[in-house]
Amino acid sequence: MEKPSGKQEVKSPCRLVCRLNESGMCVGCFRLLDEIANWETMSNEERFDVLRKAHLRMQLQNIQI
């Protein structure tokens, strides 16, 4: 995953699935509820960190299946 350069805005990874699993993680974008709720007020650096974590969650879920 590559960091955005300059003032490029980090876009939401929402896939319009919007359903939380029993752990409070969205099954569409792999973000936690607080990450989704706070997305609009986050800096690009914070958003990138959330995307990185969500990507890792997605990979871990695929391994556990």
Please give the model's pTM, rounded to 2 decimal places. Answer: 0.83
In this model, does residue 10 exceed pLDDT 80?
A: yes
Q: Longest C-alpha distance within the chain, in Å?
A: 38
* Cβ–Cβ under 8 Å, residues 2 and 12: no
| Cα–Cα distance, 23 to 42 (Å, whole number) | 22
In this model, does residue 6 exceed pLDDT 70?
A: no
Amino acid at 51: L
Give pLDDT tens digits for 16-46: 999 999 999 999 999 999 999 999 999 999 9
What share of the chain has pLDDT > 70, as a percent?
88
Instruction: Write out the two tokens for 2.
Output: 């590559």
